[in-house]
Amino acid sequence: MRFQDITVKYMWVLLVWICCDACGQTGKENVMKYNPLTDAEERVILRKGTEAPFIGEYTENKAKGTYVCRQCNAPLYRSEDKFNSRCGWPSFDDEIANAVIRLSDADGRRTEIICANCRGHLGHVFIGEGFTDKQTRHCVNSISMVFVPADEPLKETIKIVPPVEKAYFASGCFWGTEYYFSKLKGVEETSVGYMGGYVDNPTYEQVCGKNTGHLETVEIVYNPQVISYDELVKFFFETHDFTQTDGQGPDLGPQYLSAIFYNTPQEKKIAEENIKTLQTMGYEVATKLKPVNHFWKAEDYHQQYYDHKGTLPYCHSYRKIF
């Protein structure tokens, strides 16, 4: 091989290596990520902590400009909506349109506010306190925001599709199970179908024949930044009779049994811990734990059944337990 040929060959190899390296050497699409966070920022933004009062860098800030999300650069509040509430945190009586999502805290006592783009924790909102004519106070952690002065350009908002995970629950007639889960904040999508059996692509009639091994199951696509798997498991137990061993309500048969299909050992552990809690309360839990296998989606007329019918489930209801 001539020297010139060797040179060209290795120049080509070097060019390919450089291109691969620029793409992360994986061949995968280069995905834009959120801004990196310090440990203190993660504690508040990701783990819903609270910054100590009167120490935030923006509590007393009176400059003109825009407050953006520290994690994703999304504009959240304008300086003209900021006021001094003397509460120890930056306060605003209005937000930029569609920038903030309100969620009820788990205890139902307060209303959390999160960034609508990245779901990062901002603080809480309070109504009717009389500070301004708008009767609204967004109490926001300084550490959740970055202030951009009016004479500086805003950075481009980092938009990433919210992460979603799937969970699978069987609690009797899948119409009722789906109805209640579909109403939860953080649940992006629900589908009803069949899981746990040994017949491929079963029909509703086959499953009702009680010889396919399948349970009527609901697939739940949820955003773990909004609702946790533990919260889903607790809600599962609170919306059906998990002590019934032969079905659910008037629906009897193996296809109506109570079961949690877990994707990971961590999900199994969470389910087991909740079952132990129920047992300490005196409940005899009939719910079975099974590893996830193929989910066969049910016929179209079963999907979102009660929403289309306009009635309420006959064999499911909600009761607070945990």
DSSP-derived secondary structure for 168-219:
EEEESSHHHHHHHHTTSTTEEEEEEEEES-SSSS--HHHHHTT-S--EEEEE
Residues in the chain predicted with pLDDT less than 70, given as ranges, are: 1-32, 106-108, 162
Task: Identify the structural domains of the chain with CATH numbers, from first to last.
Answer: 39-149 (2.170.150.20), 165-309 (3.30.1060.10)
Please give the positions annotated as active site. Answer: 139, 173
Q: Is 124 exposed, middle or buried (0-12, 13-18, 19+ CB in 10 A)?
A: buried
**pLDDT score of 32:** 57
CA torsion through residues 229, 234, 239, 243, sign: positive
**pLDDT score of 108:** 67
Instruction: Decide if 120 contacts 46 (C-beta within 8 A).
Output: yes
H/E element, 251: strand 251-252
70: number of Cβ within 10 Å: 25
What digits encode the pLDDT tens for the residues 5-48? 444 444 444 443 433 333 333 333 334 589 999 999 999 999 89
Residues in the chain: 322
